[in-house]
Amino acid sequence: MARIVVTGGAGFLGSHLCESLLKDGHEVIAMDNLVSGRTENLDGFFHHDRFTFYEHDVTEFVHVTGNVDWVCHLASLASPVFYQDHPIKTLKVGALGTHKTLGLAKEKDAKYLFTSTSEVYGDPEVNPQPEDYRGNVDPYGPRSCYDESKRYAESLIRSYRDQHDLDVRVARVFNTYGPRMRLDDGRVVPTFLRQALESEPLTVHGDGSQTRSFCYVSDLIAGLRALMDADVQTPINIGNPDERTIQDLAEVVIDVTDSDSDIVYEGRPEQDPDIRKPDLSKAREHLDWEPSIPLREGIERTKVDIAKKSHQRDQQDEICK
């Protein structure tokens, strides 16, 4: 049994990682400042005897008593809705939060896992994106608070690895979806599902020809766990190479939900990337991992969770009237 700290533990990815670790017999200490994370994500295991939760902002000093085997730094404002509302918090969790959690790992002689992002590649000029692609990022652009927070964090992790011989893992996470995403998350899968279930028009930005590669959350967590078990101290892509247009995604969602929603087209956000697809050669070679959940199956699974959240919101609205 390992003793593992997970920052961002009440978030979408963080809560799934906590649950996976608990199922395998580990002790988990989760931290979250609850800016975007929600304690209801922890309902299934909050009272587990090997789980502890602290409401804490990891940009402040992080202290954990006793031994620690792993520090998993997942805290971040990953949705454009949240990171554009909180750009300074986003930068601080990438810079100060990474510094504080690296310091904890160094103090405890623990291994360190960081969830970076495909956004370090910016609006890529090569497709698919391999880990040695240096990216096409605007450091002063409208998305820079998120992109640069992750790029800086990767550099800081590399420096701790080299100067302090810290055992590190860096996962570049591509678009992930699944249960526990918020209705107001702003990312395309929960937005489309909510709109379709409520018979609202699905809002596609631009003409819908831009592509993304959607990875179901259980596949993503399996990839992170495989990375923790491997000995790869350089960044590695974790995602699904099934590249889809946003138009295609909208049509799949309408079909899965049997919705009568129309598709409407709006202007694209500034510097919205045209393409996104991971090169998984490194993950296949070093982790013996690749995703297995097809898009339609993942959308079916996510639909159930979004429908439940939508129903709960409607009930709460009725109570408040």
Inside any domain, residue 313: no
Rounded to two decimals, what is the model's pTM? 0.96
Catalytic residue positions? 146
Inside any domain, residue 263: no
Question: Helices 246-257 and 295-320 meet at what angle, rounded to 10?
Answer: 70
Pick from 95, 151, 115: nearest CA to 11: 115
Inside any domain, residue 191: no
Residue 199 CB coordination number (10 Å)? 11
State the distance between the two ends of the chain, measured CA to CA, in whole angstroms.
49
Residue 90 CB coordination number (10 Å)? 25
Residue 283: give the domain boundaries: 3-177+215-241+271-293
Strand pairing of 111-117 and 70-73? Answer: parallel
User: Do the beta carbons of residue 122 and residue 179 sit within 8 Å?
Assistant: no
Q: Which residues pair with 54 in a beta bridge?
A: 31
Residue 272 CB coordination number (10 Å)? 15
Q: Count of domains in the chain? A: 1
Q: Distance between CA atoms of 281 and 283, rounded to whole angstroms?
A: 6
Inside any domain, residue 124: yes
Inside any domain, residue 86: yes
Q: Distance between CA atoms of 298 and 217, rounded to whole angstroms?
A: 9
Inside any domain, residue 182: no
Inside any domain, residue 7: yes
The sign of the CA dihedral 307, 312, 315, 321 is: negative
Per-residue pLDDT of the chain (321 residues; tens, 9 = 90+): 999 999 999 999 999 999 999 999 999 999 999 999 999 999 999 999 999 999 999 999 999 999 999 999 999 998 888 888 999 999 999 999 999 999 999 999 999 999 999 999 999 999 999 999 999 999 999 999 999 999 999 999 999 999 999 999 999 999 999 999 999 988 999 999 999 999 999 999 999 999 999 999 999 999 999 999 999 999 999 999 999 999 999 999 999 999 999 999 999 999 999 999 999 999 999 999 999 999 999 999 999 999 999 878 877 776 776
Peptide bond into 128 cis (omega under 30): yes
Inside any domain, residue 35: yes
Residue 113: which CATH number? 3.40.50.720
CA angle 177, 178, 183 (to 5 degrees): 90
